[in-house]
């Protein structure tokens, strides 16, 4: 999908409920996909209780205006609000609950906040477009690019009540929590559906079968409307723990959202997805298979044949006799914890293939950094046509040894550079030097 330069998305309105410091820490991630897009963010800051409602357990001096300014400095149109409820609503038995209001309740009540922002804009005769979709997110929901997300949403009728989302990729989580849009993947409501729910929000909290924001939303929709969940391919709840490389190297497409990337597993998603934002829109994690072209020796070619998972890694398979031909690339490599438990993950990923031994069977260069160089920036080398690759070996003493690649430079264009690094396992396995691959795109 070509990248639409300077595209605007005012038809998308995003909502998140979280705590003050978590939202400050999340600015870089939100800026990646929200900055300069015309889409708006509304946040309920659960621990920003106004002074008149504070007690010893909720005292704070959080400055929501300052938080909005920090987001706007990052290019994000953001509105942050204190919570609207400060005591738990009565439960089913009518008895008051003295415990603090959970973030999950604020998460569900975002519907009211989002509608309030829309109505305020309309009453003030603002030039802002009326949103088509209201998205309820977790604070670690990440969209590589709004371009493919917007394209996917446009295939659904926003003028009618509609609820779009994804299940957990762990089927046992679906069995426990039920059939619903798991919010980490992103839950999308059309404006007509949100207005149908508005009169019932507080009632829905008191009558829900489970007290998670996603579960309350599901029960409320089922109890008060005829709308049912529409599953959207590419939204990812990502209930996977440990090494997530099997997912990122699987060739899955499209990838509309990611979740749990800084808790259940670790991935530098802002750097990974820069290629989608700055170069190609919907190309994130697409796979490219290529050989070295450096030798006529068949076995050597097979060992050095490579697989690029764009934005995540470059891999080779030196321990396999026939290289990539020995791998069923239609299957996901089961790298994460419990990946082989069919009752959990076969529902989402099908039968997984075995995890390959790092170093012996599989050699990986992982993305560690990206930058954009102007035409006169001599720090970037290796540009030819649309993309080129240079390999550099980093010695133990800190020096560098350049391998095959291109060094010709073209004038008049910016160059987008990805840096992939293979960390040496050590002399015991014959690796004493880190290796670097630079992939350069002319943009």
pLDDT for residue 294: 47
What is the C-alpha separation between 229 and 221, in angstroms, rounded? Answer: 9
SS3 402: strand
CB atoms within 10 A of CB 244: 22
pLDDT for residue 60: 61
pLDDT tens across 169-178, in order? 999 999 999 9
Dihedral angle computed from the Cα positions of residues 136, 198, 9 and 161, in that order, rounded to the nearest 10 degrees: 100
pLDDT for residue 406: 32
Of the CA atoms within 13 Å of residue 339, those in its CB half-sphere come to 23
Q: Which domains does the chain have, with CATH numbers?
A: 12-231 (3.90.550)
pLDDT tens across 374-410, in order? 765 444 333 333 455 554 444 333 444 444 333 334 5
pLDDT for residue 2: 53
pLDDT tens across 345-357, in order? 999 999 999 999 8
Report H helices in 305-430: 342-349
CB atoms within 10 A of CB 378: 7
pLDDT for residue 411: 56
Residue 4 has pLDDT above 90, yes or no: no
Average per-residue pLDDT in the chain? 85
pLDDT for residue 179: 95
Dihedral angle computed from the Cα positions of residues 425, 430, 432 and 433, in that order, rounded to the nearest 10 degrees: -80
pLDDT for residue 303: 61
Question: Quick one: tokens of 287?
Answer: 């796979």
pTM of the model: 0.86
Question: Quick one: tokens of 15?
Answer: 């909502």
Range in 100-114, 256-270, 408-422 with the lowest mean pLDDT: 408-422
Range in 110-124, 154-168, 289-303 with the lowest mean pLDDT: 289-303
Dihedral angle computed from the Cα positions of residues 50, 51, 56 and 60, in that order, rounded to the nearest 10 degrees: 70
Percent of the chain with pLDDT over 70: 79
Range in 10-24, 112-126, 174-188 with the lowest mean pLDDT: 112-126
What is the C-alpha separation between 242 and 240, in angstroms, rounded? Answer: 7
pLDDT for residue 124: 63
pLDDT for residue 123: 67
CB of 23 within 8 A of CB of 61? no
pLDDT for residue 398: 41
Nearest to 76 by CA among 143, 7, 27: 27
pLDDT for residue 389: 52
CB atoms within 10 A of CB 92: 9
What is the C-alpha separation between 94 and 157, in angstroms, rounded? Answer: 39
Percent of the chain with pLDDT over 90: 61
β-sheet bridge partners, residue 401: 393
């Amino acid at each position: 999908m070509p990248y639409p330069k300077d595209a605007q998305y005012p038809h998308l309105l995003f909502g998140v409920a979280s705590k003050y410091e978590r939202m400050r820490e999340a600015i870089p991630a939100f800026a990646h996909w929200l900055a300069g897009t015309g889409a708006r963010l509304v946040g309920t800051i659960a621990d920003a209780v106004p002074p008149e409602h504070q007690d010893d357990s909720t005292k704070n001096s959080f400055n929501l205006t300052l938080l909005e300014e920090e987001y706007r400095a990052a290019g994000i149109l953001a509105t942050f609000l204190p919570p609207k409820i400060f005591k738990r609503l009565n439960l089913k038995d009518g008895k008051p609950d003295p415990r603090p209001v959970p973030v999950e309740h604020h998460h569900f009540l975002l519907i009211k906040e989002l509608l309030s922002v829309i109505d305020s804009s309309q009453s003030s005769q603002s030039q802002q477009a009326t949103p088509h979709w209201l998205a309820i997110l977790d604070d670690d929901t990440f969209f590589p690019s709004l371009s493919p997300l917007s394209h996917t949403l446009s295939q659904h009728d926003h003028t009618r009540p509609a609820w779009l989302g994804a299940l957990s990729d762990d089927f046992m989580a679906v069995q426990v929590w039920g059939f619903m849009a798991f919010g980490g993947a992103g839950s999308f409501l059309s404006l007509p559906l949100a207005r149908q729910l508005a009169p019932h929000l507080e009632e829905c909290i008191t009558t829900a079968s489970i007290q998670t924001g996603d579960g309350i939303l599901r029960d409320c929709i089922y109890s008060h409307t005829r709308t049912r969940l529409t599953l959207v391919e590419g939204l990812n709840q990502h209930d996977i723990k440990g090494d997530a490389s099997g997912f990122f190297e699987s060739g899955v497409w499209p990838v509309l959202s990611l979740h749990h990337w800084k808790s259940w597993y670790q991935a530098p998603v802002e750097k990974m997805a820069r290629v989608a934002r700055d170069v190609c829109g919907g190309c994130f994690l697409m796979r490219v298979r290529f050989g070295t072209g450096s030798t006529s020796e068949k076995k050597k070619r097979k060992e050095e044949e490579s697989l690029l998972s764009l934005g995540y890694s470059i891999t080779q398979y030196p321990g396999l006799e026939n290289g990539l031909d020995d791998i069923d690339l239609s299957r996901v490599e089961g790298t994460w914890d419990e990946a082989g438990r069919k009752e959990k993950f076969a529902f989402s990923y099908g039968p997984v293939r075995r995890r390959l031994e790092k170093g012996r069977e599989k050699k990986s260069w992982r993305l560690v950094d990206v930058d954009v160089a102007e035409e006169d920036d001599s720090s970037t080398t290796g540009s030819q046509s649309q993309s080129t690759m240079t390999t550099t070996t980093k010695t133990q003493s800190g020096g560098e040894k350049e391998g095959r690649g291109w060094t010709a430079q073209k004038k008049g264009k910016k160059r987008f550079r990805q840096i992939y690094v293979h960390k040496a396992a050590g002399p015991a396995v014959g690796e004493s030097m880190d290796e670097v691959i630079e992939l350069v795109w002319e943009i």
